[in-house]
Amino acid sequence: MRKFFAFFKARTMEFVRDRGTLFWNLLFPVVLVFGFAFAFAGDGEPLFSVGILGTPDEDLAFMEIEEIEFIEYSGTGNESREAVMERLRRHQIDMLVDFEAQEFAINRESREGPVLRRLFLADSAESLAAGGGLDAAEVEQREPGQQEAAQQESGQQAPGQQAAAGSGAATFTEQEITGDPIRYVDWVVPGVLGMNMMFSCLFGVGFILVRYRKNGVLKRLKATPASPLTFLTAQAASRLVIVVGTSTFVYAGTNAFLQFTMLGSYLNLLLVLILAIACMIAIGLVVAGRLKS
């Protein structure tokens, strides 16, 4: 074990004393994450996106609005109602209209949701006005609960019931969900960490061993009582500790300012990180064993 720790300490200190390598493994990913966070921090194009389940109603005036992007989902597999609702919860779409269940859903924490609801319920206002009920403008200004009462007073059924007559948005019930949006930086951080981890393992193990062999260091190690297994194990263990430490530092440091979206367990994330680093180190050893220069 003394031989192992001697090699482990020597390789770790070699990494720490190399300022160029320390910068690229520790500081550059932090700069990259913050750069992407500020570069893509805008709200994007002011375009509405509405998910559609079932066969759309051609008589619905809402479907003819050109400023809205309608995305049709099959309702099965990755496009099931639950999957589409999760996209709505994460602000990937602004509204969901289910023509089979006669329901529509919005995210009340989204700025686009109330606007789309007013546009969608405009058909209800027109239906009530055409049936001799309330004035269309008055119906649009009421809350969903007041609109339901107005429909019952006008002789129409509640939105949650099966409509016997009439068409349009008056037959739909409303559902609200909540959820925080997934920003661009939330998607790019795993890629930045993965790229940094990959280069650190491949070059920090494979390139170093090739350099040792080219410089004659490996031949001189034969004169020491240390076995090749001890040397390689110490090299892999040192790189494992370094990459885990740098990846944790980069993630924790940037997360303190940017507050990333985390779905799951940090313990599972650490376990996956360690397994991924071990795989990359193994690939680096294979590459080092096949390359001569």
Q: What is the pLDDT along the chain (293 residues), one digit of tens a residue?
A: 788 888 888 878 877 777 777 677 777 787 778 877 777 665 555 468 899 998 887 778 888 887 788 888 988 888 888 899 988 888 888 899 988 888 889 888 888 888 888 888 876 555 544 444 434 444 344 444 544 454 444 444 444 333 333 445 556 777 777 777 778 888 888 888 898 888 888 888 888 888 888 888 888 888 888 888 888 888 899 999 999 999 998 899 888 888 888 888 899 999 999 999 999 999 988 888 877 66
Alpha carbons 152 and 159: distance in angstroms, whole number: 9
Final residue belonging to a domain, choices 128, 159, 177: 177
Residues 173 and 193 reside in one and the same domain = no
* Residue 218 burial (CB count, 10 A): 14
Question: Are 56 and 16 contained in the same domain?
Answer: no
Residues 191 and 118 in one domain: no
Domain assignment present for residue 238? The answer is yes
**Residue 271 belongs to some domain of the structure:** yes
Residue 113 burial (C-beta neighbours within 10 Å; 0-12, 13-18, 19+): buried
| Residue 279, pLDDT score | 92
Whether residues 210 and 247 share a domain: the answer is: yes
Kindly give the pairing relationship between strand 173-177 and strand 95-98.
Answer: unpaired
- In three-state secondary structure terms, 44 is coil
Beta strands in the chain (DSSP E): 48-53, 68-73, 95-98, 103-107, 173-177
Q: Residue 151 in contact with residue 157, Cβ under 8 Å?
A: yes
Distance CA 11, CA 208 (A): 10
* Total domains present in the chain: 2
Helix axes of 184-201 and 228-258: crossing angle, nearest 10 degrees: 160
Q: Is residue 53 part of a domain?
A: yes
Residue 155's contacts (CB-CB under 8 Å, 6 or more residues apart) are 131, 133
Q: What's the confidence (pLDDT) of residue 43?
A: 54
In this structure, the answer to whether residues 282 and 201 fall within a common structural domain is yes
- For residue 143, the model assigns a pLDDT of 47
Instruction: Name the residue with tokens 């070059």.
Output: 203
Residue 273 exposure: Cα atoms within 13 Å on the Cβ side: 23
Report how far residue 230's alpha carbon sits from residue 183's, in angstroms, rounded to the nearest whole number: 45
57 shares its domain with 27? no
Q: Examine residue 43 and state whether it is found in any structural domain, yes or no.
A: no
| Residue 236, amino acid | A
Q: Distance from first CA to last CA of the chain, Å, rounded?
A: 31
Based on the domain organization, do 243 and 197 belong to the same domain? yes
Name the domain boundary from 140, 160, 177. 177
pTM: 0.56
53 and 167 together in one domain: yes
| 16 & 110 share domain | no
Q: Are residues 79 and 27 in the same domain?
A: no
- Kindly report the number of other CB atoms within 10 A of residue 278's CB atom: 15
Identify whether the C-beta of residue 163 lies closer than 8 Å to the C-beta of residue 72: no
Instruction: Show the domain range for 245.
Output: 2-38+183-290
User: Are 232 and 154 found together in one domain?
Assistant: no
- Residues 199 and 218 grouped into a single domain: yes
Where among 113, 145, 177 does a domain terminate?
177
Grouping H, G, I as helix, E, B as strand and the rest as coil, residue 107 is strand
